[in-house]
Amino acid sequence: MAHIVGYPRVGPKRELKFALESFWDGKSSAEDLKQVAKDLRASIWNQQKEAGVFWIPSNTFSYYDHVLDTTAMVGAVPERYGWTGPTVEFDTYFSMARGNKTTPAMEMTKWFDTNYHYIVPEVGPETKFSLASRKAVDEYKEALELGVKTVPVFVGPVSYLLLAKPTRDAPKGFEPLSLLDSLLPIYKEILGELKAAGAHGVQFDEPTLVLDLESSKYAAFKKAYDYLGADFGHGILVETYFADLPAEAYKTLTGIDSIGAIGVDLVRGTKTLEVIKEHGLPEKKKILAGIVDGRNIWANDLAASLAVLEDLAAKIGKDKILVSTSCSLLHTAVDLKNETKLDDEIKSWMAFAYQKVHEVVALSNALKGKKDEEFFAANAAAQASRRNSPRVHNAAVQEAIKKLGDADHRRATPVVTRLEEQQKKLNLPTLPTTTIGSFPQTVELRRVRREVKSKKITEEEYIKAIQTEIQNVVKLQEELDLDVLVHGEPERNDMVEYFGEQLQGFVFTANGWVQSYGSRCVKPPVIFGDVSRPSSMTVFWSKYAQSLTSRPMKGMLTGPVTILNWSFVRNDQPRSATCLQIALAIKDEVEDLEANGITVIQIDEAALREGLPLRKSEQAAYQDWAVHSFRITTHGVKDTTQIHTHMCYSNFNDIIHSIIDMDADVITIENSRSDEKLLSVFREGVKYAAGIGPGVYDIHSPRIPSTEEMADRARKMLAVLESKVLWINPDCGLKTRKYAEVKPALTNLVAAAKQLRAEL
Ligand code: GLN
Ligand code: ZN
């Protein structure tokens, strides 16, 4: 039987996004919004029913975030939102999500290693749970009215608490999981209502089970499901995803009587099958075999998957297997049907959420002996065409990769000496000032970029417009008296797309949106083939910008790891292999910039930390190849060429050694929200000899920091860092800000640097 873990909510054409934003802007009513949501849910359920899915999920829809929905369900609204109960309505819900006039939003953070972000629950000893939202029951009944019997899905109670953070007033050392006993009755109450409404099965997502949990935590899962499952027969499904399920977690789940099915991710997890085979599966339990990738856009290799399923079936029995997706389809694009610009060949290699539902059903039927020969044959033909396509394989790229060999690819001269050589050439003041790359992206700029794409304006007109913008940005920076300048990135819509569009091996979808948070979606480029660089990508603009000033102009590139982590990546070779190919392309660009007189080159690795695998056992290998890929881009430059890198991540204590190993000359990092974390790294005596610019201006906020405030923060840095390594800069690019904010803020930033220089 076919099972789907969860489904995208935004709609095939981002209908929910537009409905939400129009509601938030006061342009439409709550009723309008609810109607759009209801229509989307109906179409999703109907599609799955028609496709032949047996276990169709409900309650996977969300107006903003499924973790926030859980917070609403259990009434864990932080006190500052002034909620008095009994139910959580739109105003409270969206206040928690987005803030309101008086209270900022709750914290948001990454959902495991995906690009989805959830609202972090806040609980403390004073938290009193209550059933404050019956969304799950309402959706169950709504589907039933449409003639669709669904499986309501919840964030499991243990994961909910493990993902929560203590409230600000909670005593030190307070563990949210200590609230499990008072949380469970709320879940039980809602289960009771669902049972009364006719539900036979309920799914609990417990993705924290794939993490390296301390053994003591497993007891919490046992307690929770013994209690919740008591009167639910064997109707409890527990889903895990995003990595292998550790043997101990598997044994915990198989040891809980009420659990009828255990979901495993067979795409990200390569060892779970062995665990199942080794430990076996008790009577009355089933495996939800997640074999269709919920996090990518490639068509499943049905023949290969069927072989895996049959192999498992030989061990545990066919009737014990429910075919499923590796995780919720939330993390993939919605419907390939709307891709009208992709050619048929590439399209035949892809499957979005809707197509994946059909793959799950086809596999499930085939396992039962009812193989749809035609469907399988078409799939096999597509797989073969992808495997053999000259569009995918490029001999020259593979040759270049081979030539890399096993070498370490490091710059020969140590960073301290390089910095001295560079200083002779650059002649920068101590505490040099710079920015991270982009300047405000005006409506006018977006228009110009759009119009050249649609050929409304000529290439010449476009170049003229961008050059004028660069002139203004350069002039402004000289007036502000910044030391190392940038061209402002006016020609870029997005730091990955800009490069992907100029590299071979990438394609772009028209509607391949994936929810990032709330109404925000991203449209990742698709890397389908060997990556190469037909011609230079940034030299034209950087050279022009440098010609306007005698100050150093930073060349501005996106690094290989970030391009990889923010794309849909091919699944026919390891991620590391694709990363190396991108690295070689960026290396060529670095060397082209250098040959054209650019002496400072910044290679952004904003997403390096994001790709860190969830399981500790896999982290070292990732850091190894990620950092190696970065070094490949830079190891060929002269000592006098200064390599910068930038990271949008303050919490980098756990990867500090990788950062050092990247061997950049200067790193600028996000820091505006917490000086302490970063300072503690250096207080602990980490040896950092390269230049470092912890952001002193929080560009995520419209607030303009004063000279004194920024000087103060830099002073704190000077207490732990040598003055010769410290740079003064904002913590990220300025593209989302307005000139009215940026001008005074940068004026103050330069003033702060000057004041500090005088103090040294
Ligand atoms: N250079 C990029 C910019 O300034 C960096 C963006 C980022 O780190 N996300 O926009
Ligand atoms: Zn950044």
Span 725-751, pLDDT tens digits: 999 999 999 999 999 999 999 999 999
Report which of 193, 170, 11 is spatially closest to residue 76, judged by C-alpha positions: 170
Give the mean pLDDT of the chain. 96
Nearest CA to ligand 1 atom 5: 733
R_g of the chain computed on alpha carbons: 27
Read off the pLDDT of residues 103-131 as tens digits, 9 standing for 90 and up: 989 999 999 999 999 999 999 999 999 99
Q: Which atom of ligand 1 is nearest to the CA of 602?
A: 1
Asked if 603 contacts 634 with a C-beta cutoff of 8 angstroms, the reply is: yes
Cβ of 605 less than 6 Å from ligand 1:
no
Q: In this structure, which ligand is nearest to the CA of 695?
A: 2
C-alpha distances in angstroms, 746 versus 273, 477, 525?
Answer: 55, 9, 33
Q: Which amino acid is at 481?
A: D
* pLDDT value at 134 more than 70: yes
* pLDDT value at 671 more than 90: no
Cβ of 667 less than 6 Å from ligand 1:
no
Nearest CA to ligand 1 atom 4: 733
pLDDT of 672 reads 64
Rounded Cα gap, residues 397 and 495, in angstroms: 23
pLDDT of 477 reads 98
Please indicate whether residue 673 or residue 587 has the higher confidence score (pLDDT): 587
Positions marked active-site: 700
Q: Which atom of ligand 1 is nearest to the CA of 733?
A: 4
pLDDT of 650 reads 61
- Ion ligand 2 contact residues with beta carbon within 5 A: 606, 648, 732
Q: Which amino acid is at 742?
A: V
Report which of 47, 14, 46 is spatially closest to residue 355, judged by C-alpha positions: 47
Q: Return phi, psi of residue 60, to 5°.
A: -95, -10
Cβ of 438 less than 6 Å from ligand 1:
yes
Joined together, the tokens standing for residue 449 give: 């970029």
Q: Per DSSP, what are the bridge partners of residue 324?
A: 290
Read off the pLDDT of residues 322-332 as tens digits, 9 standing for 90 and up: 999 999 999 99
Tell me the angle at which helices 575-595 and 395-404 cross, rounded to the nearest 10 degrees.
90
As a whole-number percent, the residues of the chain with pLDDT over 90 amount to: 93
Read off the pLDDT of residues 296-319 as tens digits, 9 standing for 90 and up: 999 999 999 999 999 999 999 999
Q: How far is the CA of 744 from the centre of ligand 2 (A)?
A: 20
Q: Is the dihedral of CA 468, 474, 479, 480 positive or negative?
A: positive
* pLDDT value at 418 more than 70: yes
Q: What is the mean pLDDT of residues 520-549?
A: 98
Q: What is the mean pLDDT of residues 564-581?
A: 97
Tell me the angle at which helices 459-480 and 539-547 cross, rounded to the nearest 10 degrees.
50
Q: Are strands 691-694 and 600-604 parallel, antiparallel or unpaired?
A: unpaired
Tell me the angle at which helices 353-367 and 302-316 cross, rounded to the nearest 10 degrees.
50
Instruction: Return the residue matching tokens 């085979």.
Output: 277
Nearest CA to ligand 1 atom 6: 733
Choice among 152-161, 201-210, 470-479, 687-696 with the minimum mean pLDDT: 687-696
Q: Which atom of ligand 1 is nearest to the CA of 435?
A: 4
Read off the pLDDT of residues 348-391 as tens digits, 9 standing for 90 and up: 999 999 999 999 999 999 999 999 999 999 999 999 999 999 99
Q: How far is the CA of 699 from the centre of ligand 1 (A)?
A: 11
pLDDT of 686 reads 80
Read off the pLDDT of residues 61-86 as tens digits, 9 standing for 90 and up: 999 999 999 999 999 999 999 999 99
Q: Are strands 165-166 and 150-155 parallel, antiparallel or unpaired?
A: unpaired
pLDDT of 674 reads 63
Read off the pLDDT of residues 192-241 as tens digits, 9 standing for 90 and up: 999 999 999 999 999 999 999 999 999 999 999 999 998 788 899 999 99
Ligand 1 pocket: which of 492, 496, 565, 732 to mutate (most atoms <8 Å of CB)? Answer: 732
Report which of 619, 624, 726 is spatially closest to residue 671, judged by C-alpha positions: 726
Q: What is the mean pLDDT of residues 430-447?
A: 97
- Secondary structure (3-state) at 489: coil
Is 403 exposed, middle or buried, given 0-12, 13-18 or 19+ CB atoms closer than 10 A?
A: exposed
Q: In this structure, which ligand is nearest to the CA of 649?
A: 2
Ligand 1 pocket: which of 604, 648, 672 to mutate (most atoms <8 Å of CB)? Answer: 604
pTM of this prediction exceeds 0.90: yes
Rounded Cα gap, residues 629 and 644, in angstroms: 15
Rounded Cα gap, residues 70 and 196, in angstroms: 21
* pLDDT value at 678 more than 90: no
Joined together, the tokens standing for residue 333 give: 């694009």
Please indicate whether residue 399 or residue 610 has the higher confidence score (pLDDT): 399
Report which of 167, 166, 172, 176 is spatially closest to residue 208, judged by C-alpha positions: 176
C-alpha distances in angstroms, 581 versus 59, 498, 575?
Answer: 41, 17, 10
Is 425 exposed, middle or buried, given 0-12, 13-18 or 19+ CB atoms closer than 10 A?
A: middle
Q: In this structure, which ligand is nearest to the CA of 498?
A: 1
Q: How far is the CA of 606 from the centre of ligand 2 (A)?
A: 6
As a whole-number percent, the residues of the chain with pLDDT over 70 amount to: 99
Read off the pLDDT of residues 392-404 as tens digits, 9 standing for 90 and up: 999 999 999 999 9
Cβ of 735 less than 6 Å from ligand 1:
yes
* pLDDT value at 677 more than 80: no
Rounded Cα gap, residues 649 and 389, in angstroms: 39
C-alpha distances in angstroms, 310 versus 204, 216, 288, 537?
Answer: 26, 35, 14, 48
pLDDT of 653 reads 77
C-alpha distances in angstroms, 381 versus 307, 345, 348, 358, 377?
Answer: 17, 11, 9, 17, 6
> Which of the four pLDDT bands, split at 50, 70 and 90, describes residue 43?
very high
E-assigned strands of 560-670?
A: 600-604, 642-647, 666-669
Cβ of 203 less than 6 Å from ligand 1:
no
Joined together, the tokens standing for residue 699 give: 């560009």
Cβ of 486 less than 6 Å from ligand 1:
no
* pLDDT value at 673 more than 70: no
